[in-house]
Amino acid sequence: MKIIVFEIIFGIFLTILESWVASESTTTTPVSDKFLPDHPDLKESDKYSVPVAKGRQVQFENITVYESAYKNDTQIMLITIYDIFGFHPHVKFIADKLADQGVFVVIPDLFHGNPVPLENFPQPSFMERAQHLFSKNGSWVENKPDLLNVIKHYKTKYGIARVGMFGFCWGGKIAVLAASDEDFSDSLNAIGLVHPSRVTNEDAFDIRVPALLLPSKSEPDMLPFLKTLNDNIKGNKSDHHRYDAMQHGFAGARSDFSDIEIRTNVENVIYRLSTFFKQVLA
């Protein structure tokens, strides 16, 4: 009789223990699973832990390009212009997430392997390195032929019909310059600016295509920029959203994707880019 009572009590104990373990495993599941899966080396302070890139790097016309997996029926291409820190996993990750939405995404290495090292920030030498980059590999004179070659290459290879371009920080300025250049008038159909730098409201007067404006709280008010686009472009589909709680660079190389608030806003950037380009380039 004692043995039977003991087995019953022990069975109840095991049931309670299993329920408690299940409850604990549920409540401790990271919120980040929705956006970033666990990384084997993830630490709270680790700003670089993101999933392995899904795409590949190819080379043509003397330029290296990261490209997402191409789907045979895709006729839309997005060109991603990184920030001054170059080919960073954050930028590749965002490109891959956009590619999951059914578009073909490429990231040309406009700095040809010579970006500003991330470890230089925010040392005193950072601005010196950045200014040197802006006048050399980061200048429009250097970038323009590379971008024209990238568009020509993929139009020829895959029959791409519509092209969008979006950039982070410095890359936003490059997208503005491309949208203002007559040589891109037949090949560039829309642009996106993610916490852009070196962009002024006066730049809007020369832009010929719809633009998605995604400034952070660090950038000047871009509503006058939007108004100019609406006034100057017939049937304009430009859009604007300001991330008032985010600092400049929150979606770029310097960001900390382990921070839930930042991660949530980056996810929103991906959603807005995908929605805008699908509507405008359809």
54-99 pLDDT per residue, tens: 889 999 989 999 998 877 678 899 999 999 888 888 899 899 999 9
Report the pLDDT value the prediction gives residue 25, as an integer from 0 to 100.
32
Residue 179 has pLDDT above 80, yes or no: yes
Report the pLDDT value the prediction gives residue 30, as an integer from 0 to 100.
31
CATH for the stretch 27-281: 3.40.50.1820
Given pLDDT bands bounded at 50, 70 and 90, which one contains residue 165?
A: very high
Residue 33 has pLDDT above 70, yes or no: no
What tokens does 170 get? 């410095």
CB 261 within 8 A of CB 92: no
Mean pLDDT for 154-170 is 95
* Residue 180, CA distances (Å) to 113, 176, 203 in order: 27, 6, 8
Report the pLDDT value the prediction gives residue 136, as an integer from 0 to 100.
76
Identify the residue whose tokens are 């608030």: 261
In sequence order, the 6+-apart residues with CB closer than 8 A to the CB of 66 are 53, 55, 56, 57, 87, 92, 95, 106, 107, 109
Q: What angle do CA 143, 195, 90 make, to 5 degrees?
A: 75
Report the pLDDT value the prediction gives residue 7, as an integer from 0 to 100.
46
190-216 per-position pLDDT tens digit = 999 999 999 999 999 999 999 999 999
Say which residue, 237 or 29, is predicted with more confidence.
Answer: 237
Across 177-257, the runs of DSSP E, i.e. the strands, are 190-194, 211-214, 239-240
- CA torsion sign for 252, 255, 261, 263 is positive
Rounded-to-integer distance, Cα 196 and Cα 205, Å: 17
Residue 241 has pLDDT above 90, yes or no: yes
Residue 10 has pLDDT above 70, yes or no: no
In sequence order, the 6+-apart residues with CB closer than 8 A to the CB of 155 are 161, 163, 187
Rounded-to-integer distance, Cα 83 and Cα 80, Å: 10
Report the pLDDT value the prediction gives residue 38, as an integer from 0 to 100.
40
In sequence order, the 6+-apart residues with CB closer than 8 A to the CB of 17 are none
Of 251, 253, 166, residue with least CA distance to 210: 166
Rounded-to-integer distance, Cα 194 and Cα 128, Å: 23
Share of the chain above pLDDT 70, in %: 78
Mean pLDDT for 88-113 is 91
**Structural element, H or E, at residue 77:** strand 76-81
Report the pLDDT value the prediction gives residue 122, as an integer from 0 to 100.
65
Rounded-to-integer distance, Cα 80 and Cα 94, Å: 9
Report field, pTM of the whole predicted structure over 0.85: no
